[in-house]
Structure 1
Amino acid sequence: MTRRLLLSHLSLILLVLLTLEVPFGIFYARSELSRLTHAAQQGATTLAEVCEEKMERGLTADLPELARTYGQRTGSRVLVADRKGAVLTDTAALAPVGKDLSAEPDISTALHDHPAVGTRNDPSTGDEALFVTVPGGSDATVPCVVRTEYRLGPLKAKVHATWLALGAIALGVLAAVALIGFVLARSVTRPVRALERATAQLAEGRMTNPPATDHGPPELRRLAASFTSTATRLQHLLQAQQAFASDVSHQLKTPLTSLRLRLENFEPHLAACAQDSLDKALGELERLSRMVQGLLALARLENSALSPEAVDLGAVVDDRAAIWTAFADEQHVDIIVPATAAVHVWAVPGALEQIIDNLLSNALRVSPPGSAITLTTVTGRREGSCTPPVVELHVTDQGPGMTGPERQRAFDRFWRASDADHDGTGLGLPMVQRLTRASGGEVSLEAAPGGGLDAVVRLRRAGSHTQREHPDASVKGSKDSCAGHRCHRSPQPVAARGFGKRELGAKK
């Protein structure tokens, strides 16, 4: 903005200078030429009258000295010819005495009692010269003709010096205006830059340096004051919301645990017909506990500043697949990871583990017995050749899938599909989306070929030393399709990142 304001000021001043100085320079050059022409005409006319008087008195021999003296005084070349156009004297000695010049246009015009004024190249130097040829008589007869020539080199040098002076003045004015304009532009844009910094800080979650409200034009001061008030109120609202979610989650954990213990203590004293109601109550209580735990996890994510770092995606996929295989075996579902080269991606610490855990939990909930869940890594580029390379992690199941509108709403908090079982919390996919975006990537749900759902996590690739994976490294089928791939088996279930098998935030 400073550069634009400065350029606008300089452009305006330059236009004013051009409007003033160019016409002045042209007028000065023309006036100097006109002044020289007028002085040359007057001098030549006076000299012609003196020559006429000398010739009438028979003092023709005095003409060379008279012409030489006049030429030295005026710095011109003087030529005098008689009534027939024969040369009587030439101060430059270019035309010998007696040479007939009556055929030359200016001499011929003067012999007909008309002066001639113009420019031509000087025969001795080749430079442009101004000539003035006047008749030397006041009667109808012309006794003599006088031609005076002035070199235009000194006049042109004077005009050029004037143009240079005008240019120097213009540069000086532009430099002064540039300095003054820069100071003014900086003073005007300082509040704007402060607003920009404050906006960037607010976008990062906390505004530590609010813009000053006592600098700059009145409009920007009012804007800074309004922005500060709005940002402060927004920060208070966000802090209140985060504090509420965190406090409620913490406050609910203790009574929920106490309630669970009391319900479990009722079990020995209940009749068999009431056992089913107790199991349902415990199930709902467990779902409520997972929901509180998910809200607490989301609150921690929103309250923390996370910086991505390079993570080996292949190692994390292998680790999580090995842990979740035990849960998959209980439902007779295979977890298949095609063989791929090592690849590093940018992700916040611990994000990949939680992303994969939530996606595998969702996939297991909808996978029928005998089906498979495939984790595929594909390296490519986002749309556009100038974008950095990305790595796509596909978690594909063979379940019933989701419709287009359901896939669009799947990342809304607490939303679950109408046909989903009732022990999900609706917080798993929002957490996946939050962790993926904090890592600089994106997540989407797509329809899998042949049915099912394909959860695609796109992350930026870290470093250039990793190899490119094959894009067709996806595997379909059941247990028979495990040939040539890593099918993981674990002897006993292991909890993943603080979540039990039923505690990972399922969405469906």
Structure 2
Amino acid sequence: MTRRILLSHLSLMLIVLIALEVPFGFIYARSELTRLSNTAELGAVTLAVVCEDKLEHGRASDLPEIARNYAQRTGSSVAVTDHNGTVLTDTDTDRVGRNISSEPDIATALHNRTATGTRDDPVSDSDILFATVPGTSDNTVSCVVRTLSSLAPLTQKVHATWVALAVTGLGVLAAVALIGFALARSITRPLRALERATAQLADGRLTNPPATDRGPPELRRLAASFTRTATRLQHLLHSQRAFASEASHQLKTPLTALRLRLENFEPHLTPCAQHSLNEAIGEVGRLSRMVQGLLALARLENSAITPEVIDLDTIVADRAAIWTAFAGEQRVDITVAGTKAGQVWAVPGALEQIIDNLLSNALRASPPGTTITLATATPPTDGGRKPPMAELHVTDEGPGMTETDRQRAFDRFWRAADAHHDGTGLGLSMVQRLTRASGGEVTLNAAPHGGLDAVVQLHPAQAARARSNAAALQKIAPLRSPNTASNRPRVERISGRPR
């Protein structure tokens, strides 16, 4: 904003200077030329009177001396002709005795009219000012006097004036720039304070609120409103954190007690009521899982978390090994395949929760005798314009999902219309939040041979550039090139066996 205010001041002042100085320069040049023309014409008229008097008294021999004296005094050249246009004397060229009555200015003067103007001088290759006047006696032209003056001094003077105007304009612009910069800094200082306060609020705590007694009245009111809003938001965030930390303890105990009481009814119920009891116990368990999921999401939303460098391959292998036993109960195999992805940026503990939720959903949808594949890969670069993303694919061989269902799958509490399991509808929502908190993205695609392909994309990390702040995610480079030996494909099969 400081730059924009400064540019607006400079642009306005530049327009004013151009509107003032350019017309002044042209008017000055024109006035100087007019003054010089009038002076030359007045001198030529005076010289013509003297020459006419000499000719009238038969003293034509005095004309060369008079012309030379005038030329030396004014720095011009002088030519005098008789009433026929024959040159009587010329201080610049040896044209005495030549008839020049055909020249336009001489012809005009022979008709008793004065001629003044400028023309090119082929000898000096510059502009000259001519003043040609007739010497008359009783309305009879006795002689013609022509003076030629170089315009080079006038041109230099006009150029010097333009330079002075330009220097003055630059000086004014420099002064306006200094004044405008100071003014812009004073105006934007409260805005910078608001920016810093906003950044602090985004981090979760406002430690340095903006001053409400500085700057223009509008910015003072804005700072006051921002401070009240920030205080209110901090209070709400504190209340949410308190609820998330306390509700977990307050809700777990009654749910656990309710489940135990329901299970204690089992010996005293008739066989026909056993099914209803099992359904009630299942709903209590589902409610417990839903509460835990909501609390986990609340903690995730209220926490200021920073991604760290984590080895994706190690996490994938560990989680696959842990889930082998659960997969074996349903006669489902788990396969780890793909190329080594190396280290990635992720929130601590996020990768474990992401893989657990995706595997849990895949197991619910996988029929017996099928395989769940966990594949890691680092796509090739696209010419250096954008760094590649490390990918984790969790692919099952279940019924899959329609395009509409895949678009809604990340909504909280959403479950497919044909779902027959006891899921809470929070798993994929948590996966999406954890992935985005890690700086990545998750998508659901149709698997090539049926089923669902959940793709998690994360930023790869370089060991030499490992940083602990999220801003580094935009600058990190791929860990390895796809052509290195460490990226050779690997396939590891972890088979689940029924207990």
Mark yes or no: TM-score above 0.5: yes
Letter of the aligned partner of 1:4 in structure 2? R
Provide the identity percentage: 69
8 Å Cα contact 1:322/1:489 also seen in 2: no
Indicate the residue corresponding to 1:488 in structure 2. 494
Indicate the residue corresponding to 2:182 in structure 1. 183
Comparing 195-204 with 1-10, which one deviates more in the overlay? Answer: 195-204
Indicate the residue corresponding to 1:65 in structure 2. 65
8 Å Cα contact 2:341/2:376 also seen in 1: no
Letter of the aligned partner of 1:6 in structure 2? L
Partner Cα distance (1:428, 1:313) in 2:
20
Are the structure 2 counterparts of residues 122 and 444 from structure 1 closer, same or farther at C-alpha, using a change threshold of 3 Å? closer
Could you give the per-residue CA deviations for residues 324-365 of structure 1, whole angstroms, max 9, x where no partner exists? 112111110011222423443221222112110111112112
8 Å Cα contact 1:339/1:486 also seen in 2: no
Partner Cα distance (1:395, 1:249) in 2:
30
Indicate the residue corresponding to 1:506 in structure 2. none
Partner Cα distance (1:59, 1:370) in 2:
137
Partner Cα distance (1:419, 1:206) in 2:
45
Give runs of aligned pairs for residues 45-56 of structure 1, distance below 5 A. 45-56=45-56
8 Å Cα contact 2:109/2:134 also seen in 1: yes
Could you give the per-residue CA deviations for residues 68-102 of structure 1, whole angstroms, max 9, x where no partner exists? 2222222221222222333332233x124333333
Indicate the residue corresponding to 1:212 in structure 2. 211
How many angstroms does 1:460 deviate by?
Answer: 2.1
Indicate the residue corresponding to 1:447 in structure 2. 446
Are the structure 2 counterparts of residues 339 and 86 from structure 1 closer, same or farther at C-alpha, using a change threshold of 3 Å? closer
Partner Cα distance (1:236, 1:346) in 2:
32
Give runs of aligned pairs for residues 13-162 of structure 1, distance below 5 A. 13-92=13-92, 94-122=93-121, 125-162=124-161
Taking only aligned residues, the RMSD between alpha carbons, in angstroms, comes to: 3.1
Are the structure 2 counterparts of residues 437 and 182 from structure 1 closer, same or farther at C-alpha, using a change threshold of 3 Å? same
Partner Cα distance (2:190, 2:300) in 1:
33
Partner Cα distance (2:416, 2:102) in 1:
112
How many angstroms does 1:256 deviate by?
Answer: 4.3
How many angstroms does 1:276 deviate by?
Answer: 6.2
Partner Cα distance (2:383, 2:403) in 1:
26
Partner Cα distance (1:197, 1:51) in 2:
88
Find the partner of 2:480 among 463, 466, 473. Answer: 466
2:354 corresponds to 1:340? no
Partner Cα distance (1:382, 1:276) in 2:
57
Question: Where does structure 1 lack aligned partners over 5 or more consecutive residues?
Answer: 470-483, 494-508
Comparing 118-127 with 383-392, which one deviates more in the overlay? Answer: 383-392
Question: Where does structure 2 lack aligned partners over 5 or more consecutive residues?
Answer: 462-476, 484-489
| Helix, strand or coil at the partner of 1:458 | strand
Partner Cα distance (1:327, 1:293) in 2:
21
Partner Cα distance (1:281, 1:364) in 2:
23
Partner Cα distance (2:50, 2:201) in 1:
94
How many angstroms does 1:177 deviate by?
Answer: 1.6
How many angstroms does 1:255 deviate by?
Answer: 4.4
Letter of the aligned partner of 2:431 in structure 1? V
8 Å Cα contact 2:335/2:495 also seen in 1: no
Could you give the per-residue CA deviations for residues 370-407 of structure 1, whole angstroms, max 9, x where no partner exists? 11111223434899994432233221222233344443
Could you give the per-residue CA deviations for residues 183-231 of structure 1, whole angstroms, max 9, x where no partner exists? 2222223333333333344344444433333233222322232233223
Indicate the residue corresponding to 1:393 in structure 2. 392
8 Å Cα contact 1:342/1:467 also seen in 2: no
TM-score, structure 1 normalization: 0.84
Could you give the per-residue CA deviations for residues 120-176 of structure 1, whole angstroms, max 9, x where no partner exists? 344653332111111111334322211111110111111111111111121122112
2:334 corresponds to 1:328? no
Partner Cα distance (2:381, 2:197) in 1:
31
Could you give the per-residue CA deviations for residues 403-446 of structure 1, whole angstroms, max 9, x where no partner exists? 44443443333444455456433332222112101111112233
Indicate the residue corresponding to 1:502 in structure 2. none
Comparing 337-346 with 433-442, which one deviates more in the overlay? Answer: 337-346
Partner Cα distance (2:300, 2:224) in 1:
31
Indicate the residue corresponding to 1:498 in structure 2. none
How many angstroms does 1:266 deviate by?
Answer: 6.9
Partner Cα distance (1:428, 1:96) in 2:
110
Give runs of aligned pairs for residues 105-504 of structure 1, distance below 5 A. 105-122=104-121, 125-257=124-256, 270=268, 273=271, 282-380=281-379, 386-421=385-420, 423-462=422-461, 463-468=477-482, 485-489=491-495
| Helix, strand or coil at the partner of 2:140 | coil
Are the structure 2 counterparts of residues 231 and 385 from structure 1 closer, same or farther at C-alpha, using a change threshold of 3 Å? farther
Comparing 231-240 with 141-150, which one deviates more in the overlay? Answer: 231-240
Partner Cα distance (1:4, 1:44) in 2:
59
| Helix, strand or coil at the partner of 2:378 | strand
Tell me the number of residue pairs that the alignment of Structure 1 and Structure 2 aligns: 478
Partner Cα distance (1:63, 1:91) in 2:
11
Indicate the residue corresponding to 1:11 in structure 2. 11
8 Å Cα contact 1:136/1:143 also seen in 2: yes
| Helix, strand or coil at the partner of 2:394 | strand
Partner Cα distance (2:173, 2:240) in 1:
55
Partner Cα distance (1:221, 1:322) in 2:
60
8 Å Cα contact 1:322/1:490 also seen in 2: no
8 Å Cα contact 1:333/1:373 also seen in 2: yes
| Helix, strand or coil at the partner of 1:345 | strand
Could you give the per-residue CA deviations for residues 242-262 of structure 1, whole angstroms, max 9, x where no partner exists? 321221112233444555566
Partner Cα distance (1:122, 1:40) in 2:
17
